[in-house]
Amino acid sequence: MKFLFALLLLPLFSTSQTVHTKDGNILYEGKEKITGVSELEINNRIQHILPSLVDNYQIDKQSANTVRARGELKLKTPFNIIRTVHYSIELKANQNGYEYLIDSVSFTEQKRGEKPDTKSSKEVVDNMGKQGAVVGETERLLNETDMQFQKLLALLRSGMRKQQIFLKI
């Protein structure tokens, strides 16, 4: 009986939204370790890999060990709707690996033949507090966005490690 009661309360305590937020804005940050490679080599790998992973890659700022760029993600939609996620990604090479930051996320939705509507990530995340059909659509949008960002980070991590293995052979 206690198990059934706990099972019924589980949806109240779990959140189905998986997107990473900070102060209501979508934000992904973290560190990845790469051992046995110099900071210069890590920076060279970042310079090589990042343009191939980020759609519509545009460098905002570049220094000796940091790259900040803008990019886009195209989300799956019916034919009559175009939905794009715009974001900034910053990678900073250091002695033990690299740090990443994905922020400045905004969403643009356009029905073909109409003007595009752009919303900040805060506006979209705030829609989760509303009621009705908008919550379901917002949850699908945020989940797909999270999956795309997780895929981008996994490909970046994998690409950095593959180069590490390739260079050691």
Q: Would you give per-residue pLDDT tens digits along the chain (169 residues)?
A: 554 444 444 444 344 446 888 888 999 999 999 988 889 999 999 999 999 999 999 999 999 899 999 999 999 988 899 999 999 999 999 988 999 999 999 999 999 899 999 999 999 998 888 888 778 888 999 999 999 999 999 999 998 887 544 443 3
Q: Give SS3 for 137.
A: helix
Helices (H), 14-132: 39-53, 121-126
Third-level CATH fold of 17-168: Alpha-D-Glucose-1,6-Bisphosphate; Chain A, domain 4 (3.30.530)
Place of tokens 């900070």: 22
